[in-house]
Amino acid sequence: MATRRMVSDVWRNRPTVEGAGVRLHRVFGNEQVPRLDPFLMLDDFGSDRPSDYLSGFPWHPHRGIETVTYLDRGTVEHGDSIGNAGAIGPGDIQWMSAGSGIIHQEMPQAPPDGVLRGFQLWVNLPAKHKMMAPRYRGIAAAGIPASTLAAGVTAKVIAGEAGGVRGPVKDLVVDICYLDVTAARSAACEHHVPTDHRCLAYVVEGEGGFAGARVGAGHLVLFEGRGAVTVESGPRGCRYLLLSGRPLGEPVAWYGPIVMNTEEELETAFREYRDGTFVKVAR
């Protein structure tokens, strides 16, 4: 019999405020380091009240990480210090490798129905890539392939591979897989996860049995062990983000938008930001 992973923990997202006053839900973050290595943070942002999000995320720095913004509904305008600017809409991806340093802004716009929703994932960069040249990749919804994983179960493959389909981001610094899975009611699926990957799932809508544990929307499931992950959706179906990645196993020094390996590196980053020498690669 194939090895299957079990559930080691389940927790619910928590409301918080970020940026210039954006109300969102933090799925995991600093408190969970290093349990979810190589992942650092996942935010579920959005609301049907524009006052909750229109203040946005004005110009701010990042170093040492990758930020992956995946929009579900609405529009977010963005710009950065290496010359990228534009807007992402429903189903689009903004994959930014901050590397040695980037300054950017993300400003949600109010759609006609007032509803905005999206997810931002932070992926840690290994020490040898912390000071790499920053880069930005915008991926339109039409460029994200879909894969049929089982009867009634489909996945948008954002990164990595699933069901013989590879995601559009192929030059990943860290070996991860990022799937947006939708399962019809009572549909079952077995996800094959690399044995050296840490694996977790965030339930976006509905509910399901994750390795037998019944979990509803707004909850994160952390798996333990090696091998495959089994999921059976509930009577209303289930949508979940499935993340897996090879842990870095490195020390984490994290404050605000910057993640390095030592406190000295953190101090250097913030001193350079104050001194105007933070950005090493400009437009």
CA–CA dist 283, 52 (Å, integer) = 32
CB atoms within 10 A of CB 151: 10
Residue 282 has a pLDDT of 80
Residue 121 has a pLDDT of 98
pTM of the entire predicted model: 0.97
Q: Residue 282 domain-assigned? A: no
241-278 per-residue burial string, b: 16 or more CB within 10 A, e: under 16: bbbbbebbeeebbbeebbbbbeeebbebbeebbeeeeb
Cis peptide before 134 (omega within 30 of 0): no
Q: Residue 18 domain-assigned? A: yes
Q: Residue 214 domain-assigned? A: yes
* Domain span at 51: 6-275
CATH code of the domain covering residue 139: 2.60.120.10
Q: Residue 143 domain-assigned? A: yes
Digit-by-digit pLDDT tens for the chain (283 residues) are 468 999 999 999 999 999 999 999 999 999 999 999 999 999 999 999 999 999 999 999 999 999 999 999 999 999 999 999 999 999 999 999 999 999 999 999 999 999 999 999 999 999 999 999 999 999 999 999 999 999 999 999 999 999 999 999 888 999 999 999 999 999 999 999 999 999 999 999 999 999 999 999 999 999 999 999 999 999 999 999 999 999 999 999 999 999 999 999 999 999 999 999 999 988 7
Q: Residue 280 domain-assigned? A: no
Q: Residue 246 domain-assigned? A: yes
For the chain, how many helices (H) and strands (E)? 1, 24
Q: How many domains does the chain have?
A: 1
Q: Residue 175 domain-assigned? A: yes
CB atoms within 10 A of CB 88: 22
Residue 283 has a pLDDT of 74
Q: Residue 158 domain-assigned? A: yes
